[in-house]
Structure 1
Amino acid sequence: MSKVIADSFGVDTYETLTGFKFICNMEKNVQEKEGKSFLFAYEESIGYLTGDFVRDKDAVISAMLIAEMAAYYHYNGLNLLQVLDDLYKKYGYYEEVQHSIYLEGAE
């Protein structure tokens, strides 16, 4: 869903391996080599990163973003569930499933 939303605003998206070392390397390359601003990153294990001042997942920033969204939408007469429903209506419903594959190693 995030890619569809980003595309609708003309914002480039990038995919990398899971882990903030990979995300931060991508962030650095995008800023230095492409001259673009870094906005937001996340990984499948629910780690979020915004801005370039913390180079790892940071629950404080995530909590701040949620509080800021809640305050903004409350001021505009909405709650976060209403906004999420509006996003679903506009961009569609998405579901992701993670599958783990276990392989035996050499003995």
Structure 2
Amino acid sequence: MPKLSVYFIRAALLYLLAGFTLGALLLTQKGLPFAVEIWLLRPLHIEVVIFGWILQLVMGVAFWMMPRFAEAPFRGDERPAWLAFICLNLGIWLNLISFLIYDAALLGLAGRALE
């Protein structure tokens, strides 16, 4: 398995753990209401699960399986894929920060552009 796929899948598992934790907090709030402000974390939960877990897992597995050439084991230049990994994670973190800060629309826009 290529090193980049390992990084994509490990990052996806970390985001799965974060998404599971946020989802459990939201579900607990539904059953035992203790702080209404917890629902402000819902956009973070959606961002982490969709872009952090699902997308990175798909990209990691696709990079592992798809770009195989019949003639040689060489995959080609991996720098664009590494750039995609860095930009995706940076975009996720910028969006998470923009959700937490009240007036950070430009930060969220930059995060979406990086994703």
Question: Could you tell me the TM-score, scaled by structure 2's length?
Answer: 0.22
The structure in which a higher percent of residues are helix is: 2
The structure in which a higher percent of residues are strand is: 1
Question: Could you tell me the TM-score, scaled by structure 1's length?
Answer: 0.23
